């Protein structure tokens, strides 16, 4: 039972985070980390979440992924509550998190572990397609240690894509890369993820890089410092491809900075 | 039977005094040799290969020679104690010496410039720079050396007091021999074990831990910070890195690599000879393993006579080799899954690891009297040998695996959850591979420890007037132990036993371990 694009018509709410709060319990004293955070992402939308460092952006992402249970509130994907890691949610990690003892192809296949519905041949075809889509044709049998940082992250993207998720979570995917590599991957990421060939219906991007956010996002959710609550939400109405040198671009950047400070 | 509190207290105190003296001796030796090797190129080229060779000789090989030489020269209280202290010293000192060498080698040039400008004397240099710079390495090594030393303390006390008839009035090993009647004096034996556990725990917290914390002050800024916060885990991961150089397995970038070029040429030539020897040996193992237990070297005269004049040496070696390996295989089969399960579960880790610490700190030879009393299997010498080896080396495997899995970044541990991998797939793709390089380092240490454990595992005698409590039919440890008891250090069999065992171990290190280690660490190391 896989997601197809047709399930969700344009404007459908793919992801909704509803009044999520999280407390850490340290010596019985509850320490609030997230307070009443709500956000939503519609079909084909890329929602960026930003905020001061240490505010809990990555924690929020882990709640959405079903890796951490919120103290209160709920996360829904296509209306059904996320109660643990699910087949239709995938993550691209900041530090790639590839298995160094497995080849690029094997890493992608590992990502498809839960796809019991597919035969091995089908899995292989899909994995190869995902690698090609991420710009890695010819690197299937290379070990991660032999790849550059940018290539490693492409494997990470391919692995996440191959699971055919509805919701794609990007956890600071460019911040471990050098500037040039990050720039190149950023240019491609939107079309890699949101195109008619993939299953991805919505993307959440965690980032602290405001220019990156304006370059990629349809909507920006700004979190406050700890305990994090939503400080503001901005819809970025800039046509793509976006010109990073234009006057207009900087106006949007300034809007986000205003909310951050 | 009356409980002998005073005797047991005196036993533990005597043993501890011997241990402390041996440690003091080891530190002084390590400082002298380590600093000398680090500061003089000529000394370096001689001392380091020597240290390397001494490190790889199984310490049990020293037993008969030391007892014969030292106690033979001074057959009294002083000679007896000196012999034991020297034996412990041989198990403690090489590690510490390498630590000092690497620490002094690692002192940045700026410090030397400073001392040159201030025209410091040699003694001032030693006092103000070399010793403080070595302090943290000495402290870490002390934790390891203490555990290893305890094993040899007990073994040498048992052997000295019991069959070798050396007059040692008090000591843990002496108590073990004394309380083994037969029958075993359970009351006093239990008291002894409790006393040892108490002493080990108190000592660890009052001295070893404090020493390690205090020595942190001397760490140079340039030194990379240790990753694990737990001092004991830190020590165990440290032993694994040390044991690499101990077994000629040189990790690139380690201080030790600097001196290898001097001996590498010699080694390369040696390696071919060793490969041939190893091949011959494997053949022997196969012959020994496939024939009945009554096999004697006479059955394979051609091979054995080519290599040795005393026929039984290689057969004994073959039996011991198989024994060492199947027990280590069991340790891996148990320790790998156990270490992984414990490390993945925080609550389990916190509750189980202190328990493992205590159990692992009991030197295995102390448990011998209890092991031979196990109904049904206690009288089977093969079982006794296997269990003693197991209890001596299992900890290296499990602690190394635990350290390896614990250092894995949390997002890697999260990976199987994110992609909803099955349990089998998670173990096959993530957990086992992530523990593999730690497992290899653990196994290297474990095999080294297993060879050392043989002297007490294969042959246990509590008094020269009594027959051995347990002994295997064939085994190199048994041969060496027996030769020690009759004081026959000039025995050709003994000499050949020690030499052939050393050659085998070194050959194995150079051919199998080194290759395996490089292959595994190259692929199975998690780095971003």
For A112-129, the pLDDT digits (tens) are 988 888 888 999 999 999
| Residues of A in Cβ contact (< 8 Å) with B429 | 99, 102, 106, 110
Chain B residues with CB under 8 Å of A101 CB are 433, 436, 523-524
Interface of A with B in 85-114 (CB under 8 A): 85-87, 90-91, 93, 95-97, 99-102, 106, 110-114
Contact B415 A99 (CB under 8 A): yes
Spatial separation of the C-alpha atoms in residues B374 and A257, rounded to whole Å? 74
Q: What is the DSSP string of B230-274?
A: SHHHHHHHHHHHHHHHHTT-PPTTSGGGGGHHHHHHHHHHHHHHH
Contact A98, A84 (CB under 8 A): no
A106 interaction partners in chain B (CB closer than 8 Å): 429
Nearest to A113 among B425, B433, B526 (CB): B425
Which residues on B lie below 8 Å from A114 (Cβ)? 419-422
Q: Measured between CA atoms, how close is B420 to chain A, in angstroms?
A: 5
pLDDT tens across the length of chain B (528 residues) = 567 888 889 999 999 999 999 999 999 999 999 999 888 888 887 887 777 667 666 676 667 777 777 877 877 888 888 888 988 898 888 888 888 888 888 888 888 888 888 888 888 888 888 888 888 888 877 877 888 888 888 888 887 776 666 777 888 888 888 887 667 788 888 899 899 988 988 888 788 778 878 887 776 644 443 333 343 444 434 343 333 333 333 333 333 333 344 445 455 556 556 666 666 666 555 554 444 333 344 444 444 443 444 446 778 888 899 999 999 999 999 999 999 999 998 889 888 887 887 788 788 888 888 888 888 888 889 999 999 999 989 988 998 888 888 888 888 888 999 898 989 999 999 999 989 888 887 888 788 888 888 888 998 887 777 778 888 888 888 888 887 776 554 466 677 777 778 778 777 777 777 778 778 877 787 765
- In 3D space, the residue among B394, B489, B509, B357 whose CA is nearest the CA of residue B444 turns out to be B509
Residue B469: C-alpha distances to residues B180, B182, B185, B293, B380 (Å): 9, 9, 15, 20, 11
Contact assignment for B418 to A99 by CB distance below 8 Å = no
DSSP state of B366: G
Cross-chain Cβ contact A86/B433 below 8 Å: no
**Structure tokens, B461:** 């005698």
Nearest to B429 among A67, A85, A110 (CB): A110
Beta pairing partners, A76: A16, A81
Pick from A85, A99, A143: CB nearest B433? A99
Nearest chain B residue (CA) to A143: B523
Handedness of CA B258, B260, B262, B265 (dihedral sign): negative
Decide if A159 contacts A114 (C-beta within 8 A). Answer: no
Distance from B444 to chain A by nearest Cα, in Å?
21
Return the residue matching tokens 């949101």: A194
* Beta-carbon separation of B411 and A93 below 8 A: yes
Domain regions of chain B by residue span:
5-523
Give the Cα separation of B157 and B174 in Å (integer): 6
C-alpha–C-alpha distance, residues B28 and B100, integer Å: 11
Query: Is the minimum CB–CB distance between B412 and chain A shorter than 8 Å?
Result: yes
Q: A176, B422: Cβ pair inside 8 Å?
A: no
**Cβ proximity of A42 and A202 under 8 Å:** yes
Q: Which CATH class is domain B5-523?
A: mainly alpha
Structure tokens at B317: 């070696």
Residue A208, SS3?
coil
Mutation site, B408, B412, B418, interface A, largest A CB count within 10 A:
B418
For residue B469, what are its two tokens?
Answer: 């409590």
Interface of A with B in 131-150 (CB under 8 A): 143, 145
Domains and CATH numbers, chain A: 1-88+166-173+201-206+217-250 (3.40.50.300)
Residue A34: what are its φ and ψ, rounded to 5°? -120, 135
Whether A119 has its CB under 8 Å from any CB of chain B: the answer is no
- CB of B526 within 8 Å of a chain A CB? The answer is yes
């Amino acid at each position: 039972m896989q997601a197809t694009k047709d399930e969700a018509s344009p404007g459908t709410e793919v992801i909704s985070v509803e009044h999520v709060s999280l407390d850490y319990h340290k010596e019985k004293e509850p320490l609030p980390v997230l307070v009443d955070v709500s956000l939503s992402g519609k079909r084909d939308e890329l929602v960026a979440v930003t905020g001061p460092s240490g505010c809990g952006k990555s924690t929020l992402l882990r709640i959405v992924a079903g890796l951490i249970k919120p103290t209160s509130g709920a996360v829904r994907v296509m209306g059904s509550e996320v109660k643990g890691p699910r087949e239709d949610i995938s993550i691209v990690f900041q530090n790639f998190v590839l298995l160094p003892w497995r080849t690029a192809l094997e890493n992608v296949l590992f990502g498809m572990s839960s796809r019991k519905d597919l035969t091995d041949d089908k899995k292989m075809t899909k994995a190869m397609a995902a690698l090609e889509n991420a710009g890695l044709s010819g690197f299937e049998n290379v070990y991660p240690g032999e790849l550059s940082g940018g290539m490693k992250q492409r494997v990470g993207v391919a692995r996440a894509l191959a699971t055919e998720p509805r919701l794609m979570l990007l956890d600071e995917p460019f911040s471990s890369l050098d500037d040039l590599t990050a720039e190149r991957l950023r240019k491609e990421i939107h079309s890699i993820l949101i195109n008619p060939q993939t299953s991805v219906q919505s993307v959440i991007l965690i980032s602290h890089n405001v220019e990156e956010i304006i370059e990629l996002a349809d909507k920006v959710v700004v979190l406050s410092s700890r305990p994090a609550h939503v400080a503001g939400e901005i819809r970025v109405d800039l046509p793509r491809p976006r010109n990073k040198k234009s006057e207009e671009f900087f106006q949007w950047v300034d809007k986000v900075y205003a909310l951050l400070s | 039977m009356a409980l002998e509190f005073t005797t047991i207290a005196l036993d533990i105190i005597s043993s501890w005094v011997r241990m402390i003296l041996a440690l003091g001796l080891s530190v002084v030796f390590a400082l002298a040799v380590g600093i000398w090797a680090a500061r003089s190129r000529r000394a370096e080229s001689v001392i380091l290969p020597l240290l390397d060779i001494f490190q790889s000789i199984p310490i049990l090989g020293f037993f008969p020679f030391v007892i014969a030489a030292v106690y033979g020269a001074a057959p009294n209280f002083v000679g007896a104690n000196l012999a034991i202290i020297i034996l412990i010293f041989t198990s403690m000192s090489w590690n510490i010496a390498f630590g000092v060498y690497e620490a002094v080698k690692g002192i940045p040039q700026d410090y030397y410039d400073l001392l040159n400008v201030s025209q410091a004397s040699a003694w001032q240099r030693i006092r103000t720079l070399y010793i403080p710079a070595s302090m943290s390495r000495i402290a870490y090594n002390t934790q390891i050396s203490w555990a290893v030393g305890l094993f040899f303390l007990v073994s040498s006390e048992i052997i000295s007091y019991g069959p070798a008839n050396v007059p040692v009035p008090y000591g843990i090993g002496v108590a073990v021999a004394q309380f083994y009647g037969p029958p075993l004096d359970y009351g006093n034996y239990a008291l002894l074990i409790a006393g040892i556990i108490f002493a080990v725990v108190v000592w660890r917290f009052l001295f070893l831990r404090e020493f390690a914390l205090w020595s942190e002050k001397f760490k140079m800024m340039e030194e990379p910070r240790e990753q694990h916060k737990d001092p004991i885990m830190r020590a165990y991961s440290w032993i694994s890195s040390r044991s690499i150089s101990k077994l000629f397995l040189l990790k690139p970038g380690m201080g030790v690599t600097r001196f290898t070029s001097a001996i590498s040429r010699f080694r390369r030539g040696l390696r071919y000879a060793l490969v041939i020897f190893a091949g011959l040996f494997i053949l022997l193992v196969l012959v020994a393993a496939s024939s009945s237990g009554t096999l004697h070297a006479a059955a394979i005269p051609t091979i054995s006579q080519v290599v040795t004049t005393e026929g039984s040496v290689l057969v004994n070696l073959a039996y011991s080799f198989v024994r060492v390996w199947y027990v280590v295989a069991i340790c891996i089969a148990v320790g790998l899954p156990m270490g992984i399960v414990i490390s993945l579960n925080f609550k389990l880790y916190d509750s189980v690891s202190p328990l493992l610490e205590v159990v692992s700190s009991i030197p295995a030879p102390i448990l011998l009297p209890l092991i031979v009393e196990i109904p049904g299997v206690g009288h089977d010498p093969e079982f006794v040998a296997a269990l003693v080896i197991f209890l001596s080396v299992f900890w290296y495997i499990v602690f190394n695996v635990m350290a390896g899995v614990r250092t894995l970044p949390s997002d890697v541990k999260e990976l199987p959850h994110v992609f909803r991998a099955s349990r089998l797939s998670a173990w096959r793709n993530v957990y086992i591979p992530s523990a593999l390089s730690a497992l290899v380092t653990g196994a290297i240490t474990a095999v080294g420890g297993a060879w050392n454990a043989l002297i007490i595992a294969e042959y246990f005698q509590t008094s020269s007037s009594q027959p051995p409590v347990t002994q295997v039919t064939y085994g190199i440890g048994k041969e060496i132990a027996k030769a020690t008891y009759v004081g026959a250090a000039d025995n050709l069999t003994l000499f050949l036993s020690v030499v052939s065992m050393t050659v085998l171990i070194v050959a194995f290190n150079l051919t199998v371990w080194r290759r395996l280690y490089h292959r595994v660490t190259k692929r199975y190391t998690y780095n971003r």
